[in-house]
Structure formats: C-alpha cells, structure tokens
Amino acid sequence: MIESLQSFLSLADAVIITNEKHQILAVNKTYECITGYSSELIVGKKASILRTKHTPDDTYVGMYEALNNGSPWSGIFTNRKRDKSLWHSSITISPFIIEGSTYFVGVFRELEQLDRGYYLDEKRVASIQASLLKVLAISCEIRDPGIEPHLTRVQKLTELLAQRHNERCQLDMPELVVAGIAHSSILHDIGKSAIPEGILYKPGRLADYERTIIEMHTVIGVDIIGKIYSELDDEIFENEFSTAKNIILYHHEKWDGTGYPHRLRGTEIPLEARIVSVVDVFDALISKRPYKEKWSIPQAVQYLQENRGKHFDPDLVDSFLTLYEEGELLPESDT
C-alpha cells in the first residue's frame, strides 16, 4: 500500500483505494462495516464488484471520462452490499499520480440515513412519474377505447415539440423540465372523465349548453388533479402536478385571447399549455372522431399555419413546422 495514501483510510466516511486498473488496494473500517466486505475478502477484486443496474450507465461514462482526463469526479452510486441489500451513496473519486503510477481514492458518503427511504436518481424518478401519470390518465378516460393511442401520440409529439422549441429558440430549459412537460401532457383532458358520454361522443353539432358543459372539463380536470395531489402530498410529484395543472386548465386558451376558460392571450398562457395546444389540435385533426373524418398530415399542418398568431403561439407553430419539414412527425392515426 502506498504510504502517502494511507492517511485517507482514517477518514470517518467509507474509503476505497484502487490502482489504474481499478483493482482494490485498500478499504477502511467504515467501508467494511457498510458493505459487509472485509479487507481480506475484497482487496485484489475489481471495484465493480459492488456495481448494480440501478446506477445509470451514463454515470459510469461520465466518471471514466473525467478520471481518464486526470480530473476528480463526484456522483451518486447505487451499489450492492455483500448481503445483497442496496447501498446508496454520494462518492468523490480523486486521481493521484505517485512515482509515475495512477491511483484512485474514492470517498463515499452514505445516503441510507435519509428519512425518505431509497435514494432515487433523477432518471428513475422521471420514469416513475411518467408511468404513474400514464396509468392515471388512461384510468380516468377508460370509457374511450381509443384514448390510449391518442394520449401516447400527444405525449410523444409534446416531447418532440418541446425539445425542438427549446433548441430553436435557445430557451435553455433543463432536460428534466422538458421531460416533465411531456409526461404531464398525457393528463390534458383528464376532466372529460366527468362529462356525460352523450355529450362527449355526440356525432352531430353540439348545442350551446352542451358546449358549455364540455368546456368545463378544464376546470374539472384541475379539481381532479388537485385532489389526487393532496392525497399523495409527495414532493416527488410536485413539479409534475404544477405543470399538469397549467396544461389541463389552459390548453384551450388561444394566442389571440378568444379561448377558454379565462380568455388569456399571448404569453399569459403558460408555455407548457401553448405546446400541448398545438399538439392536441394537430392529433385531433389527423384522427377520426364521431363528428369528423380524419385529415391528412399536410391538411393539419396547413391549418396550424393558417391559425398561427390566432389560435396558436406563432413561434411554436414555426418550431412544429421544422419537425414536419424534417419528417419527424408521427404517422397518421388510424383512429
């Protein structure tokens, strides 16, 4: 063991020292206690002995990239102890070059003392959120057998448009914010679960009072989502439900102020609702409905262009058109 690195083993946190091939040279007592591996059992093994599939691959890619460049690296690992239980930790790995050889010192800080239980990395949180929101949306609209394909298309198109608009207009929205908009878009019409089927699926023209009832689905949807969130009361969904409320309530507002329920105009309408407005109308146009035949994609795109600056945010329509021109839009709906 290199004498100059020996002092690291006296730290209170778990410490592991490896050579440039990532073979373990030494661990301290804290590491032994946490992992269940004694020095006799683990020295000489590869550091990956504790690795699990729960740590995203790109975490390791970033780690190796930094270490190969001679830079320290910090991140989150979900490893497995000797007894097969999971161990979640924040780790900083620092490279040291001693007499021409490279050594790595990893200092782990255990996250198991968190009151909330398992540590979840952001991607796993996003995956859980997306799955639960999809189940929720489909469950609330289960009367319509064709609703799942529509919701899935809206979600995918929302993701494509949000990403493209973010890039084209240089909005610098974080990846997780863009993903949150896509995940939440699936709930846009959740309030229609409370609308009578005779009105919702009426094949002919709606009477004024029937249209008024349908337009209530935005307010009803916010009430539904508010009650669900109050029951969960969990910060893991806080951002998603805030985004979902904006989408549900405002996705029928129009850029020129003639929409509902509050006749907002322009940028008074939250961006996430403006995005879903474009996508929802587009998918409705290319889908068969009880009251209409489906349109072709070129016809639907032309409609968006004609209503640019009226119904829709003109910049968002322009972003959508780039997707169309590049062949990124989904195939026409069969429903």
Catalytic, 192? Answer yes
Catalytic, out of 29, 81, 123, 192: 192
Report d(CA 119, CA 112) in Å as an integer.
8
Residue 60 near residue 105 (C-beta atoms within 8 A): no
Helix (H) or strand (E) holding 175: helix 175-185
Residue 267 burial (CB < 10 Å; 0-12/13-18/19+)? exposed
Report d(CA 124, CA 126) in Å as an integer.
5
**Could you tell me whether strands 101-110 and 14-19 are parallel, antiparallel, or unpaired per DSSP bridges?**
antiparallel
Report d(CA 320, CA 313) in Å as an integer.
11
**From the CB of residue 72, how many other CB atoms can be counted at a distance below 10 Å?**
12
Of 52, 26, 34, the C-alpha closest to 108 is 34
Residue 251 near residue 296 (C-beta atoms within 8 A): no
**Residues that are catalytic:** 192
